């Protein structure tokens, strides 16, 4: 047979495996050092021994058991762009044993990595994440030694499949893998089934099915090997340019695993397609006829997943595009944020330690707010009742926030310097008629949050139409834009007594508190002895720039997924048309020469496809309406209907476009194939 389609399929899988391995390793390298054996998480109560003793214990275990142990620490001032590895060398012969002299061979170039001796952490809290390199038998020994010092220790394999799969399903890479898999299936199956006559000739000569498959692969093998070699050379060159060839063994292993998985998929598809082609008697197969029912079932087994994947890919691309646009719209606000930071809190403290530090940290924040050094921007803390039904956004702010952001009332006057002892509710103009009910909801919230302070005065003020509120990037749910439109703002200053120190710290843990700069945050927490509560200070503007770069990359991948997924879906439309035309060739010819119209000739297939399309659009419209009108309860998990609505009212429109394109491709293919059939049969007559 002509192996052009098979060659194309193997070229697709080889290129995709390399791209996927690159994206996967870059993401994994951003999460931690590559090549580790195990992860050891040390947490629990305050240590009962000096930190220097714990570090000495780790170094002793490393030396005794010939392993290297790395403490992973994010940079305090730039946690998203820099990190530190503190290394205890027990086996200099391992690749990680040379990192102190040669540096860490970063696969990803998005994060700067510095390597230091573990002894430099002797005066710091030893709780955190450690990575072991070497024999896995050393990990339990290390864990036991740390438990003996009073720590809580958890261990797991670094490349544990459950954790990797759990992470992968949240990434665009997972969807791209489904798209690539469907593309390989469609290309291989189409290549085999369109050569049904050639296979019939081989069957006529008594060639066994296994030999048929072997012959196909043997014919495609030279070009397959050439493709693999070409891709390998291209990978080596590009990797050398990107990172100097760092971590190439890991990249080669990941590429080989993915390539092997896709090759198995292609071989399985090839074998099943051959079995399908062999179902027809030889004489019928020599005429190019396929087993209509089995082929139709097989096509729809690919078409339905292709439709779901195409919908997911298009929606994903839409979400990524909306996020990118929203990020760009807020660019001036991000730039104006300057040196402002969010405080990232340490996850390694015990609950008792955190509670003990939360009060002094909150006291400092309240004092800093009074000095105008802290802006409050906390989302969805008010539970709305009847005053504001349906899905809605809200933002807790203070006078410092109003001084930094241009917030105006319905008369165009800027809102600044509101009374300290009054809670002011800024109501969007579209909800002005419900201002009294909204104020009642806020009163219920203040009475529930306040400890010992009741009956705080509540005032309302109507915002200008279209007023936007900047969140400083502290999103309370996935895919949330940095600018909230028509959101309720509740101005709560420290002087009102509504927010006590513990509550203020709780708001800060959700990135609802913005400090003027990292030095102010560091000095302030140190002044009250609460410096251990902070893990890092994340610059708002820098974080936005890095998030935008990540969004650009994600958007490109999502758009690529959508284009390829739509191509696969349209290919299945053509396949359905081919199967239907071959199955009903005689009837189509008779109806055409009898003057039947296109829709009447193909009414069965078109009707079934239309029902499927309408079902998809109706489900999307229904779920969108339910999701948009459902009440959001702060702190609670989103309902399934809310989770499904990620593009608002445009989501059903987008899905309608996908199914319309699929139907149009089917109709066009039926029209072309039908005319070709009539023309061929007429010339034969």
Q: Mind listing the pLDDT tens digit for each residue in 47-94?
A: 667 888 889 999 999 999 999 999 988 776 676 678 889 999 999 999
**1 vs 435 pLDDT, higher one:** 435
Q: Are 175 and 309 in contact (CB under 8 A)?
A: yes
Q: In terms of C-beta density within 10 A (0-12 exposed, 13-18 middle, 19 or more buried), how is residue 89 classed?
A: buried
Tell me the percentage of the chain whose pLDDT exceeds 70: 86
Q: Are 412 and 467 in contact (CB under 8 A)?
A: no
d(CA 102, CA 250): 19
Burial readout 574-588 (b: 16 or more C-beta within 10 A, e: otherwise): bbbbbbbbbbbbeeb
Q: Where are the beta strands (DSSP E) in 57-213?
A: 68-74, 82-88, 112-117, 128-133, 152-157
- Report H helices in 330-434: 331-336, 351-370, 399-404
Burial readout 593-605 (b: 16 or more C-beta within 10 A, e: otherwise): eeeeeeeebbeeb
Q: 3-class SS at 81?
A: coil
Q: Which residues neighbour 193 within 8 Å (Cβ) at sequence distance 6 or greater? A: 273, 276, 277, 290, 295
Examine the pLDDT at 401 and tell me if it is beyond 90.
yes
Q: Where are the beta strands (DSSP E) in 75-182?
A: 82-88, 112-117, 128-133, 152-157
Q: How many CB atoms lie within 10 A of CB 663?
A: 16
**519 vs 642 pLDDT, higher one:** 519
**What pLDDT is stored for residue 213 in this prediction?**
79
**What pLDDT is stored for residue 375 in this prediction?**
92
DSSP annotation of 49 reads S
pLDDT digit string, tens, across residues 598-653: 888 888 888 888 888 888 888 877 777 766 665 544 444 444 445 555 566 777 88
Q: Are 13 and 180 in contact (CB under 8 A)?
A: yes
- The C-alpha angle with vertex 13 and arms to 11 and 15, in degrees rounded to 5, equals 70
d(CA 116, CA 85): 6
Examine the pLDDT at 42 and tell me if it is beyond 60.
yes
Average pLDDT over residues 183-202: 77
Average pLDDT over residues 135-160: 88
Average pLDDT over residues 216-225: 81
pLDDT digit string, tens, across residues 654-665: 888 888 888 898
Tell me the percentage of the chain whose pLDDT exceeds 90: 20
Q: Are 641 and 553 in contact (CB under 8 A)?
A: no
Mean of per-residue pLDDT scores for the chain: 82
Examine the pLDDT at 285 and tell me if it is beyond 70.
no
Q: Are 407 and 467 in contact (CB under 8 A)?
A: yes
Least Cα distance to 647 among 328, 325, 315 occurs for 315
Least Cα distance to 16 among 262, 253, 246, 230 occurs for 262
pLDDT digit string, tens, across residues 528-539: 988 888 877 878
H/E stretch holding 513: strand 513-515
**383 vs 432 pLDDT, higher one:** 432
Q: Which residues neighbour 310 within 8 Å (Cβ) at sequence distance 6 or greater? A: 562, 565, 566, 568, 569, 658, 662
Q: Are 139 and 132 in contact (CB under 8 A)?
A: yes
Strand order in the sheet with 152-157: 112-117, 82-88, 68-74, 128-133, 38-43, 152-157
Average pLDDT over residues 200-207: 73
Q: How many CB atoms lie within 10 A of CB 347?
A: 12
Q: With bands split at pLDDT 50, 70 and 90, how would you rate the model's confidence at 1?
A: very low
Least Cα distance to 502 among 376, 359, 381, 365 occurs for 359
Q: With bands split at pLDDT 50, 70 and 90, how would you rate the model's confidence at 31?
A: confident
Average pLDDT over residues 544-557: 74
d(CA 270, CA 267): 5
Number of helices (H) and strands (E), helices first, in the chain?
A: 23, 16
> Would you say the C-alpha torsion 166, 168, 172, 176 has a positive or negative sign?
negative
Q: Are strands 68-74 and 128-133 parallel, antiparallel or unpaired?
A: antiparallel
**What pLDDT is stored for residue 305 in this prediction?**
82
Least Cα distance to 281 among 191, 199, 188 occurs for 199
Provide φ and ψ at 483, rounded to 5°.
Answer: -115, 120
Examine the pLDDT at 146 and tell me if it is beyond 80.
yes
Average pLDDT over residues 305-309: 82
**What pLDDT is stored for residue 641 in this prediction?**
47
Examine the pLDDT at 168 and tell me if it is beyond 80.
no
Examine the pLDDT at 451 and tell me if it is beyond 80.
no
Examine the pLDDT at 2 and tell me if it is beyond 70.
no
d(CA 491, CA 496): 10
d(CA 33, CA 105): 9
Least Cα distance to 635 among 378, 399, 402 occurs for 378
């Amino acid at each position: 047979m002509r192996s052009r389609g098979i060659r194309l399929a193997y070229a697709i899988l080889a290129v995709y495996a390399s791209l996927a391995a690159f994206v996967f390793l870059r993401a994994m390298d951003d999460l931690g050092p590559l090549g580790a054996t195990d992860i050891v998480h040390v947490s629990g109560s305050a240590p009962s021994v000096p930190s220097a003793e714990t570090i000495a214990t780790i170094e002793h275990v490393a030396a005794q058991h010939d392993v290297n142990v790395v403490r992973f620490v994010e940079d305090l001032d730039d946690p998203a762009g820099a990190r530190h590895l503190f290394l205890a060398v027990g086996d200099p012969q391992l690749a990680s044993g040379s990192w102190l002299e040669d540096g860490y061979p970063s696969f990803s170039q998005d994060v700067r990595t510095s390597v230091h001796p573990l002894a430099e952490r002797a005066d710091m809290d030893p709780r955190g994440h450690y990575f072991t390199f070497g024999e896995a038998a050393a990990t339990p020994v290390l864990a036991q030694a740390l438990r003996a010092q009073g720590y809580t220790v958890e261990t797991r394999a670094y490349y544990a499949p459950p954790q990797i799969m759990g992470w992968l399903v949240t990434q665009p890479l997972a969807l791209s893998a489904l798209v690539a898999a469907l593309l390989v299936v469609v290309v291989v199956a189409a290549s085999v089934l369109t050569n049904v006559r050639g296979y019939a000739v081989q069957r006529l000569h008594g060639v066994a099915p296994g030999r048929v498959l072997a012959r196909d692969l043997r014919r495609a093998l030279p070009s397959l090997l050439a493709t693999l070699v070409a891709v390998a050379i291209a990978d080596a060159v590009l990797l050398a340019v990107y990172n100097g060839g760092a971590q190439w063994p890991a990249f080669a292993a990941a590429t080989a695993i993915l390539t092997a998985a896709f090759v198995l998929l292609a071989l399985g598809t090839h074998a099943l397609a051959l079995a399908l082609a062999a179902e027809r008697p030889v004489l019928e197969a020599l005429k190019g006829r396929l087993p209509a029912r089995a082929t139709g079932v097989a096509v729809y087994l690919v078409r339905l997943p292709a439709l779901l994947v195409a919908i997911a890919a298009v929606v994903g691309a839409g979400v990524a595009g909306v996020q990118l646009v929203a990020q760009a719209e807020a660019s001036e606000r991000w730039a104006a944020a300057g040196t402002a930071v969010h405080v990232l809190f340490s996850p390694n403290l015990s609950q008792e330690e955190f509670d003990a530090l939360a009060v002094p940290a909150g006291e400092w924040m309240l004092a800093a707010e009074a000095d105008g050094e802290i802006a409050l921007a906390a989302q969805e803390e008010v539970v709305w009742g009847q005053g504001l039904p349906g899905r809605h956004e809200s933002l807790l702010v203070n006078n410092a926030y109003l001084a930094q952001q241009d917030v105006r009332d319905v008369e165009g006057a800027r809102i600044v310097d509101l009374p300290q002892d009054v809670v002011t509710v800024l109501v969007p103009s579209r909800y002005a008629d419900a201002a009294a009910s909204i104020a009642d909801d806020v009163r219920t919230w203040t009475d529930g949050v306040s400890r010992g302070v009741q009956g705080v005065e509540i005032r309302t003020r109507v915002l200008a139409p279209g007023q936007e509120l900047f969140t400083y990037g502290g999103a309370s749910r996935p895919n949330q834009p940095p600018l909230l439109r028509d959101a309720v703002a509740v101005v709560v200053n420290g002087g009102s007594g509504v927010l006590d120190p513990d509550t203020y710290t709780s708001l800060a843990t959700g990135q609802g508190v913005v400090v003027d700069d990292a030095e102010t945050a560091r000095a302030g927490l140190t002044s009250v002895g609460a410096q251990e509560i902070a893990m890092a200070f994340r610059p708002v503007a820098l974080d936005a720039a890095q998030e935008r770069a990540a969004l650009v990359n994600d958007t490109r991948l999502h758009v690529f997924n959508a284009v390829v997924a739509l191509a696969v879906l349209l290919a299945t439309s053509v396949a359905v048309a081919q199967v239907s035309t071959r199955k009903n060739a005689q009837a189509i010819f008779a109806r055409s020469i009898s003057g039947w119209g296109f829709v009447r000739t193909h009414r069965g297939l078109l009707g079934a496809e239309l029902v499927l399309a309408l079902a998809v659009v109706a489900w999307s419209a229904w779920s969108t309406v339910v999701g948009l009108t459902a009440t959001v309860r702060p702190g609670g998990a989103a309902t399934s209907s809310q989770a499904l609505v990620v593009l608002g009212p445009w989501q059903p429109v987008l899905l309608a476009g996908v199914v319309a394109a699929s139907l149009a491709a089917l109709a066009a293919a039926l029209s072309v194939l039908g005319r070709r059939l009539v023309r061929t049969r007429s010339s034969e007559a």
